[in-house]
Amino acid sequence: MTALSIVVPCFNEEECVRLLHQRLSGAARTTFGEDYEIILVNDGSKDRTWPIMQEMSAADPHLTCVNLSRNHGHQLALTAGLDLARGSRILIVDADLQDPPELLGPMLEMMEREGADVVYGVRRSRAGETRFKRATAHAFYRLLSSATEIDIPLDAGDFRLMSRRALDVLLAMPEQARFVRGMVAWIGFKQLPFPYDRAERFAGESKYPLGKMIRFALDALTGFSSAPLKLASHAGLLLSLSSVLIILYILFAFLTGRNIQGWTSLMLVVVVLGAVQMFVLAMMGEYIGRLYSQAKQRPLYIVQDIAGDARTPRKMLGQVPEDATAHSDSPGGSGTLPISRAS
């Protein structure tokens, strides 16, 4: 077991990955000397991210690079890296250098001083982000906090330092639709916030456009809250009360001889009822979809190559064939075993 593992999911980061490696290595050496490892996970990049990773892994024995078979998404790429981590301390950081790796030392100091299992970064400011992005992120975290049954920290991403026992519990959780920061919060233990100022992205563009952010928000909400399902009962109760009032109004109008026109109001009621019903069905569909994905029990991810290290992730699906051995035809001694992580 090493003292430190740094896990970084990467997608189309050819402009960042060399500087990322340089800064991660510097922060690790400053804090842990030579007793560390860096795990970069290529999540199906379309640019030169993987060839660059192979070159770097050939020159740095501390570096392990994982190439997934396709784009599995940020949270599953992160899980793939965490499965490989051997450290007694594990740092999770994004590849865009918005979360400064140099904060490793102060975060470790807080962890050891306070006896914490998790020290998570809390964003005091978000340089380089649009007003819309900041506003939607602000609203998302507060909606999630109010709707979920666990205390998910506000304004905190995946940037965090974890103990070995916290990671072991996290990896034992079998969710297919993973929201890692929520899963870490669910674990418990002592978790402390570490305020910091988030830097502007070094290069490239955000890998979370609006569509992916909405999908991510739905995964977070449906994974840690039953509030959307309760909406059906609340809406049903409200509409039932409304229907009683409408019946009383119709009865009053009939007894008093008033003429009820009502076509416009009738159509309005029909449209409102239809909209509420479709919304409730959509939310139920989200939960049913999660159950369907979980029931299939497919592997969370598939690893195509590992450069710089012949290890394979834990919880393998099936056995590696006897004649399939890691080789070093590519830089860094990349293996080409069909590796997967079962849920």
Distance CA 243, CA 222 (A): 30
Mean residue pLDDT across the chain: 75
**How is residue 45 written in tokens?**
């990049």
Residue 219 confidence (pLDDT): 62
- Provide the pLDDT confidence category of residue 312 given band limits of 50, 70 and 90: low
Residue 148 has pLDDT above 90, yes or no: no
pLDDT at 91 over 90: yes
Q: Record the tokens describing residue 34, joined without a space.
A: 């030579």
Q: What residue ranges in 145-261 does DSSP mark as E strands?
A: 156-163, 191-198
Give the CATH number of domain 4-212. Answer: 3.90.550.10
Written as one string, the DSSP assignment of 55-110 is HHHHH-TTEEEEEESS---HHHHHHHHHHH---SEEEE--TTS-S-GGGHHHHHHH
| Per-domain boundaries in the chain | 4-212, 227-296
The pLDDT value recorded for residue 271 is 64
Q: Is the pLDDT of residue 184 over 80?
A: yes
Give the pLDDT mean for 94-121.
90
The structure tokens listed for 174 are: 């079998």
**What confidence category does residue 316 fall into, taking pLDDT thresholds of 50, 70 and 90?**
very low
Report the candidate in 30, 66, 3, 56 with the shortest Cα–Cα distance to residue 336. Answer: 66
Task: Check: CB of residue 3 under 8 Å from CB of residue 190.
Answer: no
At residue 110 the predicted structure's pLDDT band, cuts being 50, 70 and 90, is: very high
Angle in degrees, CA 22, 28, 31, rounded to 5: 140
The pLDDT, as a whole number, for residue 143 is 65
**CA pseudo-torsion sign 327, 37, 19, 12:** positive
For the chain, what's the residue count?
343
Summarised one tens digit per residue, pLDDT across range 25-37 is 999 999 898 889 9
Cβ neighbours of 212 (radius 10 Å) = 13
Strand bridging mode 4-10 / 63-68: unpaired
Copy the structure tokens of residue 332. 């860094």
- State both tokens at 127: 């340089």
Q: What is the pLDDT of residue 175?
A: 78
Q: Which tens digit of pLDDT belongs to each residue from 262-300?
A: 655 666 667 667 767 767 776 666 677 666 666 666 778
Q: What angle do CA 48, 54, 60 make, to 5 degrees?
A: 130
